[in-house]
Amino acid sequence: MANNYVDFIPDEHLLNCVSNLHKAYLKAKNNISKKSFYLNKIDTIKLTFDAKFNDISEEDLIQSEILRQIDKSINNSIGTFHEHVLGGIDGFEIGKLSGFDIKATDNTLFADIKNKHNTMNSSSAEALFQKLARYADVYKKAKCYWVQILAKNSFNELWKGEINGKEYSHSRVYKISGDQFYALLSGKDDALFQLYKVLPKVIEDYLKSNNKDETVKENSALEEIASEIEHTKRSVLDQITFENYSYYLGFDRL
């Protein structure tokens, strides 16, 4: 049966990938309670500058900070989306917490997928190279890839160079851009472009068929903070500062 969306994975698989990502969006939105919002200490000194210099109300500023936290969570889920899509190509599978993200079923390819080219520091890059080199050493016919879905150029080349002051190279360890990796696995030069063009239609079809009763309480953090302010009479930033730093000298006077 011909596919309606892209010609390298079944329609059902692509819809399932979209469904998984949608669940990740819902979970990310639902997770931002006051407790989770405070999990990493809020820099209210920076937020004070942001409010004054950018002429933003405190409420809008906190809402933006909440959305930033959601976006950070979603970025990780986008990488997982690409793993699931690529794992649906015939002859390949996802790693399922096995130390790699994608592998060929015949062990001739292993890959670690990063959504953006700049998501690793030098220590992470060194650890990744060493991991890929180990796979290449164990599986003598395997090519191993660091995949950058959103790269600065289109490329498929040996990964070699200096990392943390050490020279690294291996005859079967590569770095590759997202378009080239999609092309490599699918045999279609325009596979990633196909996915990009069809996504609005896939998402629309998924949302139409999705259970409309599925609801989520979004972003309760600001609501919880507002409830506290009714009793304390503090400003939004003062309330957040007090709840984050009341143990600092003088901050208990807020």
Residue 238, in any domain of the structure = yes
Please give the full DSSP string across 1-53, using - where no structure is assigned.
---SS-SSS-HHHHHHHHHHHHHHHHHHHHH--HHHHTSSPP-HHHHHHHHHH
Kindly tell me if the per-residue pLDDT of 219 is higher than 60: yes
Four-point Cα dihedral 48, 229, 251, 42, nearest 10: -50
Give the 3-state secondary structure of residue 166.
strand
Work out how many domains the chain is built from and give that number: 2
Give me the mean pLDDT over the 216-233 stretch: 83
- Determine, yes or no, domain membership for 175: yes
Is 160 strand, coil or helix?
coil
pTM metric for this prediction: 0.83
Q: Do 27 and 10 fall into the same domain?
A: yes
Task: Give a yes or no: residue 212 inside a domain.
Answer: yes
- Whether residues 143 and 202 share a domain: the answer is no
Query: In this structure, are 123 and 97 located in the same domain?
Result: yes
Which pLDDT belongs to residue 215? 55
- The reply to whether 50 and 114 lie within a common domain is no
Whether residues 18 and 43 share a domain: the answer is: yes
Report if residue 61 sits inside a domain.
yes
Please report, rounded to a whole number, the percentage of residues in the chain having pLDDT higher than 70. 95
Q: Once rounded to an integer, what is the mean pLDDT over residues 110-129?
A: 89
39 shares its domain with 121: no
Query: 4 is in which domain, residue-wise?
Result: 1-77+191-254
131, 154, 187: which is the final residue of a domain?
187
Whether the predicted pLDDT of 1 surpasses 70:
no
Shared domain for 93 and 173, answered yes or no, is yes
Instruction: State which of 168, 187, 206 marks the end of a domain.
Output: 187
158 lies in some domain: yes
pLDDT of 210 higher than 90:
no
For residue 156, is it within any domain?
yes
> Among residues 163, 187, 211, which one ends one of the domains?
187
94 and 59 belong to one structural domain = no
| 182 and 160 inside one domain | yes
DSSP 253: G
pLDDT at 213: 52
**Residue 82, domain member (yes or no):** no
What's the confidence (pLDDT) of residue 119?
A: 74
- Are 73 and 195 in the same domain? yes
For residue 178, tell me if it sits in a domain: yes
pLDDT at 29: 78
* pLDDT tens-place string over residues 121-179: 899 999 999 999 999 999 999 999 999 999 999 999 999 999 888 999 999 999 999 99
